[in-house]
A = this chain, B = another copy of it.
Amino acid sequence: MTRKQEIIDTAKTLFRERGYKSVSMRDLAKVIDFKAASLYNHISSKEEILAEIVLDVARYFTHEMNIIKSLNVDAKTQLEGVIKHHVDLTINNPEAIAILNNDWMHLEGKHLEDFKMMRDTYENDLRSIITQGIEHKEIAFQNIDIILFSLLSTLRTLHLWYRKRSDLSENDLKKDITDILLKGILVKS
């Protein structure tokens, strides 16, 4: 692991616990037994650390969504795929998801622009899947935005709950979350 990666990993933990704005470069340096000035040999600014954390996850979500879109399967299967990769990421990188949720607003300039673009594209792609599901009568409930909102609310805050209930196996979690999110949406078959 490079020094830069060590800095980012440490920042992930601290940013999640206390929030980006509440963690100083001195705090960060202390954890890895450095002086704050030394951090700047590996990163160019505090905001760069935030951007690496947040944009990395955002790119991952974008990538996964593109795979799902390319599969040419029905809406239900696509939604299952979306839920699956949210759960995967929640388990493998909960800090990054928490930071993305809470501190994306502290990105600056092009980082902020890129983030918003990826987020909006992701939401639009998901909306398209839902619309398709309604057209093909796979989805019963008619209000597209409410479905979109309800799905994303649950998936984006999953990390808060997995923390308390990490005794749940990955597979059980996937099954239960998929059940509760889709059974209310899908036409009973």
Contacts and interface: CB of A to CB of B under 8 A. Distances in A.
Contacts of A181: 150, 184
Please tell me the size bucket of the interface on A. Answer: 20 to 34
B141 A183 contact: yes
Interface stretch (A48-56, A58-66, A107-115, A172-180): A172-180
Contacts of A124: none
Copies of the protein in its oligomer = 2
Contacts of A106: 19, 22
Contacts of A135: none
Interface of A is mostly: helix
A147 B165 CA distance: 13
Nearest to A182: B184
Nearest to A23: B21
Interface string A147-189: 1011001101110110001000000000011011111110010
A74 interface: no
A177 to B, nearest CB: 7
Residue in A102, A149, A179 whose Cβ sees the most chain B Cβ within 10 Å: A149
Given A21-B19, A105-B18, A153-B153, A161 B145 contact: yes
A141 to B, nearest CB: 6
Given A19-B105, A21-B21, A185-B180, A145 B165 contact: yes
Interface of A: 18-19, 21-22, 102, 105-106, 141, 143, 145-147, 149-150, 153-154, 156-158, 160-161, 165, 176-177, 179-185, 188
